[in-house]
Amino acid sequence: MQKPRVEIVIPGYNEQAVLEKSVLALREFLVANFPYSWQITIADNASLDHTWEITQYLQETYPEVKAIHLDRKGRGRALRQAWMSSDAEVVSYMDVDLSTGLESFWPLVDSIISGEYEVATGSRLAKGAKVTRQWKRELTSRGYNLLIKLLFFHNFSDAQCGFKACRAETARQLLPMIENYEWFFDTELLLLAEHNHLPIFEVPVRWVEDLDSRVKIVKTALEDLKGLWRVRKEFWRGEGRLVQSKGQEQVAAQPSEPKALAN
């Protein structure tokens, strides 16, 4: 295969019910609509059901699909391994339930390939987003993002949307600094990117809640709160900065507010 310009990682844990259907839907969309070379990587992080068997079948059947197996759980852990070993120019990921509308994937990736942005993220809270979810999840999400704003005065609007992309070279510099291997991974990635003045692009997305989500709200909320306080203290201590390698320019650009795609 041609070297992929874009790698789409789908982390999965016990997703035998939806994995094949989602991967085939994504593949069909990319074949019909995506202008760049691409590869789908399924990262099975220690599933206890038949997710790994289905992942292997998809790899054997479709040359554009790659399988990775991890012995330990953690969405952040799966993304870290897949992104660090990628030979693509742009690394990305989306949740296996495809809650985010695929029509937003092209502008997400194109913002990075154009050379204008280093990190791109979907947003369910930006102007133009269309979201369908229960009021409890909506309230929790808005409260969490407000708390981040109060602690960091950041510019991105939605830290946890499972729909992100990053220049591969930039990802390889940021990932070693990310300590969380679970759900807080998304927030920490964006906070580190903004802390280093990397330009972030936001895409308002169409998003429908998956009622069979594997996210445990209380456990995840506690993890997020601990993570936010840890990162806040690290930034106060002057940590979290990209180190300029000898003979190389630092990736960090000038401070820039994330630009949202017009609806």
Structural domains for the chain: 6-260 (3.90.550.10)
**If you average pLDDT over every residue of the chain, what do you get?**
90
What digits encode the pLDDT tens for the residues 181-195? Answer: 999 999 999 999 999
Residue holding tokens 């993002």? 145
Q: Tell me the pTM.
A: 0.88
C-alpha distances in Å from residue 247, one per residue of 42, 172, 240, 244, 250: 36, 18, 21, 8, 10
Confirm if 64 and 37 have CB atoms less than 8 A apart: no
User: How is residue 73 written in tokens?
Assistant: 């759980």
- What confidence tens digit (pLDDT) does each residue in 67-79 have? 999 999 999 999 9
Nearest to 203 by CA among 106, 115, 118, 136: 106
Please count the residues of the chain: 263
SS3 161: coil
Q: What is the pLDDT of residues 135-179, one digit of tens each?
A: 788 888 889 999 999 999 989 999 999 999 999 999 999 999 999
What percentage of residues in the chain have a pLDDT greater than 90? 81
